Every structure is written in structure tokens, then in C-alpha cells.
Amino acid sequence: MFTQARLKLTIYYLSIITVISLFFSLAIYTNVSRQIEGFIRIQNQRIQQFHQNDDLGVPPPRPRNLPIISVDDLKEQQAKLFYSLLFINSSILLLAGGAGYLLAGRTLQPIKVMMDKQNQFIADASHELRTPIATLQAEMESSLMAKSITDKIARNLIKSNLEEVNHLKKLTNNLLLLTSNLTINPNLQNLQLATIIKIAKSRVASLAKLKNIKISSKIPKAIIRGNQNSLVEAFIILLENAIKYSHSNSSIFITGSKSDHKISLSVKDQGIGISAKDLPHIFERFYRADKSRSNTDGFGLGLSIAKKIITDHHGSISVTSALNKGSTFTITLPLSKI
């Protein structure tokens, strides 16, 4: 598909160049041919006058510094011009074809990358959706094959089905969030960063309590412009991620520093860390690291969503980590100008 599109685009480029080249060549050939034909007429008139004077016995006129040109030479020059323009146009078409093919490849490369990512995204999403759907189908088919179903079995079946439905709901919500476009959302306002952190901490408090993890924050006062729900969701993802991969009875630290135009926040945990080979890929959709990390619940979408939210707010996110020493996620956001 990509090769076919590249060839079509090359043909379009070549067609445009061909039309332009032929137009100018035709203009040059027509103009020069007219001049040559004018010289030929003048030369023919001279020859005719010379013969007439010779018949009348009149001496030929003295030349007025005009060169005597052979008609055959003029026609030969006209033919040479034609073949020269033909050669030049052929060379232009050959070079333009190669250059057009290279240019078409460079033009289509971002589209190819986007399509490859889209296809990979669809394949990964389909894989994630297939598991809960298959579980629902297997459980219901198994229950239908039973001769009788007790109330307890029916309730357990419904409970299990609801868990899978919630699993599907969470996955679809994450997918919708990834494909949404915050930049067209008009619900942007000035926000106190401390308020966003406070809300995010309260949302993950119960999860942290289960592992006896303490979350402490020390950030400067700062006002940013954005969508509160989205920013809260981004910090919830980072905090949940930190809790999920931290050891029990450990701590998570949220710190920050502010400059004239931006503020940087760090979410640091004391968890299992991320290996060097996994570190460049953790913000990719559906990416899961080694088995020690992938055994936990999730779809591999959380960090992708967090990155999208931060990026849509004209910020950036990065991570440093070492195995068995913890990870530090650093978020940089612009301060509000209003």
C-alpha cells in the first residue's frame, strides 16, 4: 500500500515537472525557430536579389556588415536545437523521477509511521478486548450447559460477569481518553496546583493505606491553566503507579521547583524500579515491562494517558529509574500567564 501510494505521488510530481519543462522548451524552440526562419527569409531575399542583379548586369551591393549565412546551416542549427531540448527534457524527467521518488518517500513517511501505530493500536486494543469477552462467553456457555443452576451459582456468575464488564468499561474509557483531543476542550481555567495534588492524593489514599504507604508532598504555590479533571487524572495515574510498584511500609515523595515560566514536579517512589531496556518504552500504549511488573492489574495504558494529558497542557513528562531503587517521574508544566 505504501509503495503504491509512493509511486502514484511520484507520477504526480513527474507529471507537473513534465508539463512545466515541455512548456518552457516549446516556448524556447518556437522563439528560436522564428528567429532562424527570419534569417532564412532574409538570406533567400539576398540570394534572389543577387541573381536578379546578375541578370541585369548590375554590380552586387556592398555588404553592410551582415554575415552571409548558409540556409542549410540555419536548418541544421534548428534541428540541433530540437535534439538538444529533447535531450535536456529527457535528462530532467530522469532526474526528476528519481528525486520525486525520494521526495514522495519522505513525504509519506510520517503517514506510514502514523498508520503503523494506528494498526498496532487497533491490534493491541483488540487483544485486550478479546480476553474479557472470551471470559464472559465461556462462563455463560458453561452455565447454559448445566442442567440446573442454584441461586448461589447464578449470583457468582453475575458477579464474575460484572467484574468483566467493569474491566471492559475501564478499558473503553481509557481508549476514549487516549483518542480524545484536549486542545479543543473549552473548559480551561486557572488552577491551583496544590489543589490538584490534594485531590489526587485523596483519591489514592485508600490504595496507599492497604500497603501502609505514606505520600508526602512539598510543592511551591503555583497557578497553571488547564482542565482540572484531566490533570487530576494524570497525577492519580502516577500515584497509583507508584503505589502499585512500591514495597509495603515505604514512602512516596512529591516535590517541586518553580521558575519564571514553568514548574517542575517529581513523583518519587521506593519501589522495584524499571529496567534500562524497558525505560524507553513505558509511555507506549499497551506496553508492559517484565513479568515482575506485568503481573499487576492494568492494560498498559495509564502512563500513555498521563503523557497525553501533560502534553496536551503544553508540558512534558520524563522518568529516571533503577532496579530495586525506585523511580522518579518528572512533570513540567507552564505557569498561567493570566
| pLDDT per residue as tens digits for the range 1-18 | 677 877 888 888 788 888
Mean pLDDT of 80-93: 81
- Return the number of other C-beta atoms located less than 10 Å from residue 159's C-beta: 9
The pLDDT tens digits for 163-193 are: 778 777 777 776 776 666 544 455 678 999 9
Residues 12 and 62 in one domain: yes
Tally of domains within the chain: 3
Residues 235 and 258 in one domain: yes
Per the structure, the complete domain to which residue 51 belongs is given by 2-117
Measured distance CA(195)–CA(239) in Å, rounded: 15
Report whether pLDDT(143) > 70: yes
The CATH number of whichever domain residue 239 belongs to comes to 3.30.565.10
| 98 or 186, higher pLDDT | 98
Residues 158 and 272 in one domain: no
Mean pLDDT of 210-222: 91
Residues 15 and 144 in one domain: no
DSSP character string of 252-306:
EEEEEEE-SSEEEEEEE--S----TTTGGGTTSTT---SHHHHTSS--S-HHHHH
Mean pLDDT of 85-90: 82
Of the residues 117, 142, 157, which one is the last residue of a structural domain?
117
Residues 44 and 110 in one domain: yes
Residues 156 and 283 in one domain: no
The pLDDT tens digits for 248-275 are: 999 999 999 988 889 999 999 988 888 8
| 84 or 327, higher pLDDT | 327
Residues 23 and 113 in one domain: yes
Mean pLDDT of the chain: 79
Of the residues 88, 117, 146, which one is the last residue of a structural domain?
117
Give the whole-number percent of the chain exceeding pLDDT 90. Answer: 19
pLDDT of residue 184: 42
Residues 6 and 140 in one domain: no
The pLDDT tens digits for 152-165 are: 888 888 888 887 78
Distances (CA, A) of 36 to 27, 41, 44, 82, 232: 14, 9, 12, 13, 81
pLDDT of residue 38: 74
Report whether pLDDT(293) > 50: no
Residues 148 and 30 in one domain: no
Report whether pLDDT(296) > 60: no
Assess if residue 251 is contained within a domain.
yes
Lowest mean per-residue pLDDT among 74-88, 124-138, 155-169, 307-321: 124-138
User: What's the predicted TM-score (pTM) here?
Assistant: 0.57
| 162 or 76, higher pLDDT | 162
Beta pairing class for 189-192 and 223-226: antiparallel
Residues 196 and 96 in one domain: no
Assess if residue 292 is contained within a domain.
yes
Assess if residue 44 is contained within a domain.
yes
Assess if residue 122 is contained within a domain.
no
pLDDT of residue 128: 65
pLDDT of residue 284: 79
Residues 156 and 105 in one domain: no
Residues 254 and 274 in one domain: yes
Of the residues 165, 182, 199, which one is the last residue of a structural domain?
182
Residue 184 DSSP code: G
Measured distance CA(116)–CA(95) in Å, rounded: 31
